[in-house]
């Protein structure tokens, strides 16, 4: 489109119109052409946002570029009367795109809101079966865990029809033998999602598959800062305190909003999958003395006497929102791309 427009504008510039100096005609057409470029850039940005929103939610390809770019492919920028076409047309299409994006997000907010299915994924890692986790913790104060997704394993998935699940919140705690007496009960962690998300999707033949989507990873030096009470661990998904913890907006456990902000939940930074790799850091400050009298210690870090070698089990509880009923892709999906 831009190449055609440049050619058409050059035709106008090279013509003799009312003896206007060539320098003025050139300045005018350059200005108009810059307007076209700006308008087209804005429209393509809108297309990109719309396509990305659809792809991140549905995990299907979205044909916005094909549908709208073709609208300009055969439209000359100069008509038979010598007038420049397109500015108002481009602006109207941009407005239409923005309205469609809003309608799209509003629809998603309705169909995937509070009526969608929620469940809690539980994973337990122990020293006998996953010694590398605890070796890394002892040596570096940090370890990685992976919540795997096996499409045909209900235990792995969480339920039989929990499609396209998104991580809402997470609680992690560690347990083991007794820590030194001067170590406070509250232990701080930093949990970072590494962005390698896997999603469960149904297929048209009745089977299921997992779809990989690389999302933006959190920094291992930041992530979600949370804490647990080492003397009052959560040992079961049925623990009365777990629901309060996972729904507490102030505890550092939230990874994504549930409602009220469709732009975030369904936009370019949409909620990640729980089925991914996480880096868990148990921060410790060598210069920070332990003082059990300070029940909560120093927020965000642990005192110097915390003994990593005492831990022998990690428990992870991930609260997930998913689609209980989900249509098989009706167009080419990421699976085939």
What is the pLDDT tens value at each position of the chain, 337 positions in all? 455 555 555 665 555 555 667 777 777 777 777 877 787 777 777 777 766 666 666 676 555 556 556 555 555 555 555 555 555 666 666 677 677 666 656 655 555 544 467 888 999 999 999 999 999 999 999 999 999 988 877 666 667 777 888 899 999 999 999 999 999 999 999 999 999 999 888 877 878 888 888 888 999 998 999 999 998 989 888 888 998 899 887 778 999 865 544 445 444 456 889 999 999 999 999 999 998 655 554 578 999 999 999 999 999 999 988 876 666 654 443 333 3
Which of 135, 190, 157, 155 minimizes the C-alpha distance to 322? 157
Record the tokens describing residue 41, joined without a space.
């850039």
d(CA 137, CA 309): 8
Q: Are 143 and 133 in contact (CB under 8 A)?
A: yes
Rounded to 5°, angle at Cα 283 from 277 and 308: 85
Distant-in-sequence, close-in-space partners of 139: CB < 8 Å, separation ≥ 6: none
User: Residue holding tokens 């048209």?
Assistant: 204
Burial of 240 per CB tally in 10 Å (0-12, 13-18, 19+): exposed
Q: Are 234 and 171 in contact (CB under 8 A)?
A: yes
d(CA 203, CA 276): 21
Q: Are 336 and 215 in contact (CB under 8 A)?
A: no
Residue 124 belongs to what H/E stretch?
A: strand 117-126
32 three-class SS: helix
DSSP for residue 195 = S
Distant-in-sequence, close-in-space partners of 290: CB < 8 Å, separation ≥ 6: 180, 182, 183, 184, 297, 303, 304, 305, 306
């Amino acid at each position: 489109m831009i190449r055609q427009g440049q050619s058409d504008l050059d035709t106008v510039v090279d013509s003799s119109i009312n003896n206007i100096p060539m320098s003025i005609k050139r300045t005018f057409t350059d200005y108009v052409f810059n307007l076209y470029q700006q308008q087209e850039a804005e429209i393509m940005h809108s297309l990109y946002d719309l396509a990305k929103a659809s792809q991140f939610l549905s995990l299907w390809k979205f044909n916005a570029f094909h549908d709208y770019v073709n609208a300009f492919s055969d439209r000359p920028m100069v008509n038979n009367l010598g007038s420049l076409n397109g500015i108002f047309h481009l602006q109207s299409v941009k407005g239409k795109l923005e309205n469609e994006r809003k309608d799209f997000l509003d629809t998603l907010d309705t169909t995937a809101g509070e009526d969608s299915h929620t469940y809690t994924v539980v994973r337990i890692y122990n020293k006998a079966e996953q010694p590398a986790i605890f070796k890394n913790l002892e040596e570096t104060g940090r370890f990685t865990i992976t919540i795997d997704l096996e499409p045909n394993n209900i235990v792995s998935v969480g339920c039989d029809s929990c499609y396209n699940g998104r991580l809402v919140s997470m609680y992690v705690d560690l347990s083991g033998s007794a820590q030194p007496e001067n170590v406070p009960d509250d232990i701080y962690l930093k949990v970072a999602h590494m962005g390698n998300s896997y999603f469960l999707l149904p297929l048209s033949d009745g089977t299921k598959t997992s779809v990989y989507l690389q999302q933006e990873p959190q920094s291992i030096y930041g992530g979600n800062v949370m804490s647990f009470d080492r003397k009052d661990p959560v040992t079961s998904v049925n623990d009365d305190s777990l629901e309060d913890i996972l729904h507490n907006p102030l505890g550092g456990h939230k990874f994504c909003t549930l409602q009220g902000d469709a732009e975030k939940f369904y936009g370019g930074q949409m909620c990640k999958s729980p089925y991914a790799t996480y880096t868990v850091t148990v921060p410790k400050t060598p210069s920070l003395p332990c003082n059990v009298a300070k029940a909560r210690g120093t927020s965000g870090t642990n005192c110097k006497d915390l003994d990593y070698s005492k831990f022998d089990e990690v428990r992870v509880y991930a609260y997930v929102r998913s689609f209980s009923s989900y249509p098989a892709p009706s167009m080419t999906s990421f699976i085939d791309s």
